[in-house]
Structure 1
Amino acid sequence: MVKELLIDGYLFLFKVLFNVCKFFSLKEKVVFVCSYTDNSQYVYDELTRREEKTDVVFLCRGKAACDHFAETGERVVPIETMRVGAMVRSAYHLATAKVIVIDNYFGFLAAAAFKKPVVCIQLWHACGAFKTFGLEDHSVALRTVRARKRFLNVYRHFDKIVVGSDAMQEIFKQSFGLDESHFIHLGIPRTDLFFDLNREKQAEKSLHRLSSGKKLLLYAPTFRDPPMHQLALNLEVMKKELASDYVLILRLHPLEQKEVDRTIFRDPFIMDGSKWENVNELLLITDLLITDYSSIPFEFALLKRPMIFFPYDLHHYEKSRGLRENYTDMVPGPIASSTQELVHMIKEHRFDEQKTAQFSEYWNQYSKGQSSRHVVDYLFDCLRK
């Protein structure tokens, strides 16, 4: 109840500020509202390559996103904060921009009634989904009627949603309660990286420098709430069985990094994957991916490299968090239930390359290396209207 009151208070104040700012005229301005960095960065890079001068503002959730986009030299404003100055500036930029690009759920949308020419584009932060979200998230049933109405109001502000496949479009339709008119098949901008031969060559050089010629395993488990206190993967077994041929990279959520004993990274067999801000650049140097319910496999599949799924808490996770369809049928690689089983799969190379290729085509249908260009073309069309 207290949380709902705080949210209502924030949204009321934001609505007042936003409605005042609507008295200012619209500008040919693109406002990126970011909780992540990669998709927006790719679109921004393409914008700056064009000869046309475009007014750009970044409204960022979290210090990491603010620090990242500050390096562009553009205006950066924190969003979803009770700092009055930041709230006023964010309300002004949202009320005066012709195009707004968002990459997640942002509650302020429930309080923002945009002028008619304004287009709000959802550039979601994942190419596919094993987990349920939006209206299909199991936790929604536990929320108040008022909260559920707020969710629907936010989703209705998504004028257009960029998708990389028809499969993801169907998921969005169910998760956001929107019809087909809201979707544009432009592909996911950050996947352009996987079609960049120069970046791939740079990654190969980094690989040899980091691993001394050994292959790189990446373990990137999904964040769990509450955060896991210890790894389900037995690092001692992994080292004993695989250290002669592999180096293991651990990529954990920032909240879970705090729970892990940092001394493990003194071992030359184990590397800290949190050093890479862009996870896709890390994927470029990865020979084999180990994960569970993360969205990483949907992009990693573009590289046509092997992956193993280690959903050690599958039944509990499915019941508490929610998974789409039959998880064991969806994943494009073998499923291990223990570290020892995972090791055997790696040693025996139990992978189906054709299944990975089919998985990639299914989820990356429109992501063919030109997505950033297609998205920017669409942005300019919106600005000129």
Structure 2
Amino acid sequence: MNFLKKKIFNFLRSKRALKYFKLVFKTVGKLPKKKDLVVFESFHGKQYSDSPRAIYEYMREYNKEAILIWSVDRRSLKLFEELGLPHVRRFSIKWFLTMPRAKYWVNNVRLPNWLPKPNDTIYVQTWHGTPLKRLGIDIEEVHMPGTNTDKYKRNFTNESKNWNYLISPNRYSTEIFKRAFDYSGKVIESGYPRNDFLSNHTDQDIYEIKSNLGIFEDKKVILYAPTWRDDQFYSKGKYRFDIKLDLSLLQKELGNDYVVLLRMHYLIAENLDLADFEGFAFDVSKHLDIRELFVISDLLITDYSSVFFDFANLRRPILFYVYDLERYENTLRGFYFDFKNEAPGPLTMTTRETIDAIKGYEANGFELETHFEEFYKRFCYLEDGKATERVVQEFYQY
């Protein structure tokens, strides 16, 4: 039986199978569209999160006529079942009968290269961050597994040709997205729908999130949310990450007043062992949505992840733990602006420097840097809690 399962699994991943999948998808896609059907997907069907979640929740409340369905990876089916969300398993027979006939797709990452978008389907690409590190065809040399520089850029431009709308959080991002994605379609420069919650959350939301995580009310919260490294991986789509922060030292110096939440990027495959730091360090990598972690955090530690653009909406301190800055900037990705001088918070290279910076914030009442307001006005000016409404009104027609 295991042998048969393995044979079937290998076939489904073969080039021959992909040809059949493409043919079926293209054939079903020629049937009339269901004009009220919207299919959502977040991070390859693995999450109920990000801007697709915000758009789904808005439409569920205000567009009662719409049929809203999530495309879900098989490993995440239990989550969607527990949440009671309408869904279809990705690449199942039902999915092949649903996805091609939907009038609208709402997605935040690229779809599989083989998947042909029907001409009369409206594809809304929300993307998932304001760009600091270089994207798409702006990357000079690709170091990711399973691809090379030319193939990666070609796949990116082929994907962007399918987008009918691309959501942008600000003018800065719009200019980069158009070039990096080789995109000439409609841009909805609206702010990110996912950030509406940062403007609209309540004290009750904060209380409930902390309670569910087991965090005491008297503890300040530090969120550590690093990104992945292109050249550190186990296999395609599974990246390795070694935590350089010394949690023992953090606990020794800050444990009386703080807790630390560790949120790994969705591409990072590590399982964190925090048994020695019970009550101080929490692995929240699988928490439903990072926006909930933002609102309960007093301070963010990150590196080159775009999360700091979103967190800045809360006007709270941000530290950049960038022990590999020179390599990341000069070899792996490169940046779109002068990160060293324009980052909205101090850059640290060691755990000791990070602790000192946290204590420095604490000593001055968590007052932000003088140039933070300039950063906020450049990147956060559209985030007013109504981005989702603007997006839906732009793309959805019934």
Match of 1:133 in 2: 135
Matches within 5 A, 1:59-208: 59-61=71-73, 63-64=75-76, 66-71=77-82, 73=84, 75-79=86-90, 81=91, 86=92, 88-108=93-113, 111-115=115-119, 117-126=120-129, 128-137=130-139, 138-139=141-142, 143=148, 148-179=153-184, 181-198=185-202, 200-204=203-207, 207=210
Matches within 5 A, 1:36-55: 36-38=47-49, 39-50=51-62, 52-55=64-67
Amino acid at match of 2:316: R
Are residue 215 (structure 1) and residue 220 (structure 2) matched? Answer: yes
Ranges in structure 1 where 5+ consecutive residues have no aligned partner: none
Distance in structure 2 (CA, Å) of the matches to 1:255 and 1:73: 26
Q: State the Cα distance separating 1:330 from its structure 2 match.
A: 3.8
Amino acid at match of 1:20: T
Match of 2:306 in 1: 295
1:21-67 Cα deviation digits (max 9, x unpaired): 13421111111133242222221111111253212222234623x44
Q: State the Cα distance separating 1:378 from its structure 2 match.
A: 2.6
Distance in structure 2 (CA, Å) of the matches to 1:254 and 1:156: 26
Match of 1:238 in 2: 250
Name the CA shift for 1:262/1:269 in 2 (closer, same or farther; >3 Å): closer
1:221-258 Cα deviation digits (max 9, x unpaired): 21333245642111222122222322222222467574
1:186-223 Cα deviation digits (max 9, x unpaired): 3211111111142x443156558713412111112213
Q: State the Cα distance separating 1:156 from its structure 2 match.
A: 0.6
Say what the alpha-carbon RMSD is for the aligned residues: 2.9
Q: State the Cα distance separating 1:321 from its structure 2 match.
A: 2.7
Amino acid at match of 1:342: T
Distance in structure 2 (CA, Å) of the matches to 1:282 and 1:133: 26
Distance in structure 2 (CA, Å) of the matches to 1:144 and 1:192: 36
Distance in structure 2 (CA, Å) of the matches to 1:247 and 1:343: 13
Provide the TM-score with structure 2 as the length reference: 0.82
Name the CA shift for 1:130/1:145 in 2 (closer, same or farther; >3 Å): closer
SS at match of 1:210: coil
Q: Is the 8 A contact 2:166 2:186 kept in 1?
A: yes
Matching residue within 230, 246, 250 for 2:262: 250
Ranges in structure 2 where 5+ consecutive residues have no aligned partner: 1-9, 234-238
Match of 1:34 in 2: 42
Q: Is the 8 A contact 2:73 2:89 kept in 1?
A: yes
Greater helix content = 1
Amino acid at match of 2:373: A
SS at match of 1:42: helix
Q: State the Cα distance separating 1:315 from its structure 2 match.
A: 1.8
Name the CA shift for 1:78/1:297 in 2 (closer, same or farther; >3 Å): same
Provide the TM-score with structure 1 as the length reference: 0.84
Distance in structure 2 (CA, Å) of the matches to 1:53 and 1:72: 21
Name the CA shift for 1:294/1:149 in 2 (closer, same or farther; >3 Å): closer
Distance in structure 2 (CA, Å) of the matches to 1:46 and 1:23: 29
Match of 2:3 in 1: none
Amino acid at match of 1:236: S
Q: State the Cα distance separating 1:72 from its structure 2 match.
A: 5.8
